[in-house]
Amino acid sequence: MGNLTLSDVSKTYGGTVNVLNDINLDITAGELIVFVGPSGCGKSTLLRMIAGLEKITGGDLAIDGQRMNDVPPAQRRIAMVFQSYALYPHMTVRENMAFALKLAKKSKEEIAEAVDEAARKLQLTDYLDRLPKALSGGQRQRVAIGRSIVRDPKIYLFDEPLSNLDAALRVATRIEIARLKEEMPDRTMIYVTHDQVEAMTLADRIVVLANKGIAQVGSPLELYEKPQNEMVATFIGSPAMNLLPGKITGTGAQTEVTLDAGGKTLSNVPTEASDMGKQVNIGVRPEHLEATDGEGLFTGHVDITEALGEVTLLYFETVGTDPALIAKLPGVHKDRRGQQVSMTAAPEHVHLFHEGQSLLYR
Ligand SMILES: Nc1ncnc2c1ncn2[C@@H]1O[C@H](COP(=O)(O)OP(=O)(O)O)[C@@H](O)[C@H]1O
Ligand SMILES: [Mg+2]
């Protein structure tokens, strides 16, 4: 088990600083949930409240149907892994992993079995007799995870566990975590990260936190394909979705939108007659803009190009847009710098937001 329910959970620091408001969330045992959101939006605070390290100032937290607000951390069967791994430097990997079980006065056999099993899951068997200083950063972080596995928690909480690692180790350790999750399909994991790729690849569901609340909960592809609001639309995906102001000038299954800067586009977001004339922001992801030789939707002067090898980013200015729009084109297009380009987008890739909310959801 390891079902988690947050009901109207709020946090106010020191009686005055309100950080989170009325968070409602149901997490099913075995899910891997990722919290993302801008720095300072309360990701760590929410995780620490679940762990019991921070007082819940409003609402209820339940684990498997039992109210947990006043249960001390050690009795919640939750393990938390932080960015800094804080291993005991004078103890071997085996001793580090065994430490909590020794304190709990478990038998030698029981400890050996738990440590060997955790080491196997984390590919640390060959390193059990080493000291932490003889390990890479990624291995150290796995030992830190191993220390919590031996206690067999129902719920694992990770707070940006990979952000101290360099890029290559981060990828390798991310894959280890994905494998670990597969080895423990019934254990719940909640993972905080600011890394989009970690969020998209690890999560069963992503929770986007913003403005003291939940902006959207959904599978990674739901958030990418059907963002509920401009916050999620611009937060998920890199570079961020382009937004341009316009007005609805034709309704129905295919909506016609006229850009304030001139030009028309179509969107597959269905609209009703009463939507006529509504001000909207039109959202198109950089990877969904296509260069055209004909009359494009957005025409502009390419200011900067960034060739990344597999793709090129074109920053171009059109009337009424600030900042510049970004297009991501496959291949190398450095020669486009200084040129006029014309771009279009297929209707299925044109998002519509009215007062910040997607017209897909209402
Ligand atoms: N102990 C504290 N006292 C007062 N404010 C705090 C405390 N801890 C965090 N905060 C504030 O709460 C907000 C959320 O912090 P945090 O949960 O650490 O954000 P995140 O992990 O999303 O970056 C921030 O504005 C931060 O300054
Ligand atoms: Mg944090």
Averaged pLDDT of the chain: 94
Same domain, 23 and 146: yes
Residue 253 has pLDDT above 90, yes or no: yes
Query: Where in the sequence is the domain holding 302, given as residue range(s)?
Result: 240-358
- How do residues 181-224 score in pLDDT, each as one tens digit? 999 999 999 999 989 999 999 999 999 999 999 999 999 999 99
Same domain, 227 and 251: no
pLDDT at 19: 98
Same domain, 258 and 194: no
Same domain, 204 and 89: yes
pLDDT at 295: 77
pLDDT at 322: 66
Average pLDDT over residues 10-19: 96
Q: Provide the pLDDT confidence category of residue 164 given band limits of 50, 70 and 90.
A: confident
Residues near 248 by beta carbon (within 8 Å), at least 6 away in sequence: 255, 256, 257, 271, 275, 276, 277, 278, 280, 352
Alpha-helical segments (H) within 35-92: 43-51
Same domain, 244 and 226: no
Q: Copy the structure tokens of residue 152.
A: 């067999």
Ligand 1 mean position, distance from CA 164 (Å): 20
The residue ranking higher by pLDDT, 317 or 126, is 126
Q: Provide the pLDDT confidence category of residue 274 given band limits of 50, 70 and 90.
A: very high
**Ion ligand 2 residue ranges (Cβ < 5 Å):** 44
Ligand 1 contacts CB of residue 193 (under 6 A): no
Mutate to test the pocket of ligand 1, among 9, 39, 45, 211 (most ligand atoms within 8 A of CB): 45
Ligand 1 contacts CB of residue 48 (under 6 A): no
Same domain, 249 and 205: no
Ligand 1 contacts CB of residue 44 (under 6 A): yes
Number of domains in the chain: 2
Same domain, 248 and 182: no
Cα separation, 251 vs 257, in Å, equals 9
Ligand 2 mean position, distance from CA 20 (Å): 13
Q: Copy the structure tokens of residue 46.
A: 């929410």
Q: Provide the pLDDT confidence category of residue 355 given band limits of 50, 70 and 90.
A: very high
Atom of ligand 1 at shortest distance to CA of 209? 22
Ligand 1 mean position, distance from CA 199 (Å): 21
Q: Provide the pLDDT confidence category of residue 319 given band limits of 50, 70 and 90.
A: low
pLDDT at 317: 85
pLDDT at 36: 97
Cα separation, 299 vs 147, in Å, equals 57
Ligand 1 mean position, distance from CA 229 (Å): 24
pLDDT at 300: 87
Residues near 96 by beta carbon (within 8 Å), at least 6 away in sequence: 87, 88, 132, 143, 146, 147
Ligand 2 mean position, distance from CA 290 (Å): 37
pLDDT at 321: 62
Of the three residues 217, 233, 249, the one that is the final residue of a domain is 233
Q: Are 78 and 66 in contact (CB under 8 A)?
A: no
CATH at residue 265:
2.40.50.140
Cα separation, 60 vs 56, in Å, equals 8
Of the three residues 199, 233, 267, the one that is the final residue of a domain is 233
